[in-house]
Amino acid sequence: MNKLILASKSPRRRELLNRLGLAHTVISINTDEWYPDGLSPEGVVKYISREKAAAAANMVAPEDIVITADTMVFLDNRKLGKPQSEEDAFQMLSALSGREHTVCTGVTVMQGNRTLTEAEATRVRFASLDENTIRAYIRTGEPMDKAGAYGAQGYGALLIEGIDGDFFNVMGLPIRRLSHMLRKFNVPIL
C-alpha cells in the first residue's frame, strides 16, 4: 500500500491533514528557498514547492505519495517573509494595516516520476490597526514564526477584516485544492 508522506516542518499542515482523517507520515526536509527572479507570486511558491518535493524524493520509496507546500504573503507583489525581530514584525503589520494582501501557497503532490504542482491565492483584508494593537499582538509571540507576521488560526484572526478565497490556504495548505490533486493519485478524501 502506498504511504502518504507530508514533507513539512509545519504543525499547521500536519493538523490540517489530521482533520481530513488522512493517515500520513511526516518527514523533515531542508531546502534553500531560493527562486529565480521574475516569477509571479504563484510562480514563486510553485517553484519552491517543487524544489521541496525534489529534496524529499530520495528519502521515500517510489510508490509513496509525497505532499509538499510553500506559503508566502505578498503585499503589492513584494514578499513578506517571517519577521527577523519584533521591530520587523511591527513594520510588516503596520504595512498590512487597513490593506489587502495575497497569501499564495504552492502545493506539490509527487509519486515516483509523476509530479503535479498547483498554486492557490487568497486575498486577505486587514482591519486598520493602531500601534497599541500591533504591539499587543507582537507580545503574544505568535507573529515571530509566520510569513507576514501573523497567523489566521490564532490571535491573528482578530486583525483580519475579511478573506476572499480558501481560509485554509492562509493557514498554509489549501485543502480543497489538495483534495482534487490527491484524487488524481487515487487518494480519495471523501
Catalytic residues: 70
Contacts of residue 111, defined as CB under 8 A and 6 or more positions apart, other chains included, come to 2, 62, 63, 64, 65, 66, 185
Q: Return d(Cα 188, Cα 140) in angstroms, integer.
A: 38
Please give the distance of CA 161 from its chain centroid, rounded to a whole number. Answer: 20
> Do the strands 25-27 and 100-111 form a parallel or antiparallel pair, or are they unpaired?
unpaired
Contacts of residue 67, defined as CB under 8 A and 6 or more positions apart, other chains included, come to 4, 5, 6, 7, 8, 17, 24, 107, 108, 109, 178, 182
Tell me the Cα Rg of the chain: 17
Q: Kindly state the cell numbers that stand for 125.
A: 483584508
